[in-house]
Structure formats: C-alpha cells, structure tokens
Amino acid sequence: MVDIDGAIGFVVARGDAVDRARLSYLRTGAVPGEDILTTAEIGQAPAGGWPARWGAEVGSIDATCFRLAELDDLGALGRPAACRALDWLASRQHDSMWEEDESLAREAPPWAQPGDPEARLYLTANAAFWLTVSDLDAGWGGGRYGAQLRTAAQAITAHIGEDGSWKSFLASAWLSVAVLHRQEMFYESARIQITLGDRLGQMSPADVASMASTLRRVGVAVDEWLLTAARRRLAETQRSDGGWTSDDGSAFDVHTTLAAIRATR
C-alpha cells in the first residue's frame, strides 16, 4: 500500500511554496493565494502559450502542457491565463494534429521535434488531453473544444496498431488512452491499456505515476485493473523517505511524488 503520509511529508520537506500549494489543493481543495498563482502563471507569451525557455516569445506546445499540469494542481485551469493557453493550444491544431513551431527545432527535445512523426503523435495526445480536461471540467454542454477533440481522436486511432502498439514515446500511450476514453472510443482505448499493462513492470516510478494520474484525471474508475496494478507498482517503488524517483533527476522528485499523490486520490 502506498504510504500517503510519507509522500505528503516528502513534499512538505523538499518542495517549494508552489509545490506545497499544489499539495494542499490536491489533498484538501484549499485555494492558493494570488501570489502563488501569479508565480505559477509567470512568463506566458502574448499569444497564450508558454515558451520552452525563459524570456522567449514563441509558445511551446510541450511547455504549455507542462504548465497547465501545474496549474491544474492549483485549481487554476479556469483562470484567464489557463483559458488563454487552452485557446492557444486549440488554435495550434493543424490537419487534426499538433506540432511545435519550426523555429523551435534547434532547442526542442526529441519528444517535441518539429517534423518528427513520433513527436507529432505525442504532442497531439498531450494537447488533446488538456483540451479534454477543460471540457470535462466545464460539464455537460459547457465544453468548447469538441470539434478539435473529435478529429484528434481519429488521428490518434489512425496511429495505433491492432495490437495496441504505437510508434511514439511511452507517454503518448496513456495520454491517448485518456483522450479516447472521454470520446467513448472504449475499444481503441482498451487495446492500448493492454499493451501498457504488459509493460508496467518495466516502467519507471515516474512513468507509472504519470500514467495513473492522467487516467484518474479523466474519470477512469479507481478500481480498473490497470490503475490497481499501477498503485501496486507505486507501493513497490516508493522510497523510505516517502518520495519517488524522477527520470529527470532529483530536482524533479517532488513533481513525481505529487503525480503519485494525484494518482492515488
């Protein structure tokens, strides 16, 4: 069983003010102060996205999705900054998919490289996931991105093999599962889930936490077999200090631990 108290203690001890505010919102729904929210929103480009590096003006799809994840943990997706970012994401869809601006090619990581089909699928699943979350939070009849999501879901399924395989980065799979689940494309979603289940034992703690928190965010039932297996894997990989190890270095261990907390809510 996951030691939630230990995970909370790790974030309190190792996290910054924004991390602790994210924890409070995840655990109790406490709305953070305006200073915390302003800090989390800082650096937004005029068009609505967030750049990949400080001071740049060209918004990055990948960086914007990362920032939306932080704002979601603060209950801030309904604020003007996040709404502008979501509208910007929707406007960046071309031919049913998403791709970074060509000007970012020299600095973009492999999973966001313009012109790369694997990066295109990952960014499509990621952007569509956040538009899905926005429409889900808006409730019945309140969503704004239905047209974009329908075409994105069709594009995603066109890139999924009959055996549930995909030619892209691992995160593309669980983001695709979430998008397809909310589009009621349950058969297509289930094919990918089976493949993820086969890989679960080799996945890093960070990947398991991200997968489980993503699926929980779109309403996949907590007792679904894949989420049950994910919680078991998280319990096995939790460290004695209460945290989980990030794939991106110790500086991101708090981020991974927050994802694990979100996954086990």
Going from the C-alpha of 220 to that of each of 167, 178, 240, the distances in angstroms are 24, 8, 29
Please give the Cα distance from 261 to 242 (Å, whole number): 11
pLDDT digits (tens, 9 = 90+) for 188-202: 999 999 999 999 999
Neighbours of 265 (CB within 10 A): 11
Q: What is the pLDDT of residue 197?
A: 96
| Nearby residues of 178 by Cβ (< 8 Å), 6 or more positions away | 129, 132, 214, 215, 217, 218, 220
Domain boundaries, the chain: 1-42+203-264, 46-168
DSSP assignment of 92-143, as one string? T-BTTB----GGGTTT--GGG-TT-HHHHHHHHHHHHHHHHHHHHHH-TTT-
Going from the C-alpha of 86 to that of each of 121, 164, 176, the distances in angstroms are 18, 29, 18
Q: What is the pLDDT of residue 96?
A: 97
What predicted TM-score, i.e. pTM, was given to this entire model?
Answer: 0.94
Q: What is the pLDDT of residue 55?
A: 62
Contact between 214 and 230 (Cβ < 8 Å): no
Q: What is the pLDDT of residue 140?
A: 73
Q: What is the pLDDT of residue 57?
A: 83
Contact between 265 and 8 (Cβ < 8 Å): no
Contact between 57 and 43 (Cβ < 8 Å): no
pLDDT tens track, the chain, 265 positions: 899 999 999 999 999 999 999 999 999 999 899 999 999 999 999 999 999 886 678 899 999 999 999 999 999 999 999 999 999 999 999 999 999 999 998 888 999 999 999 999 999 999 999 999 999 998 876 789 999 999 999 999 999 999 999 999 999 999 999 999 999 999 999 999 999 999 999 999 999 999 999 999 999 999 999 999 999 999 999 999 999 999 999 999 999 999 999 999 8
Please give the Cα distance from 85 to 64 (Å, whole number): 7
| Nearby residues of 42 by Cβ (< 8 Å), 6 or more positions away | none
Largest CA distance in the chain: 49
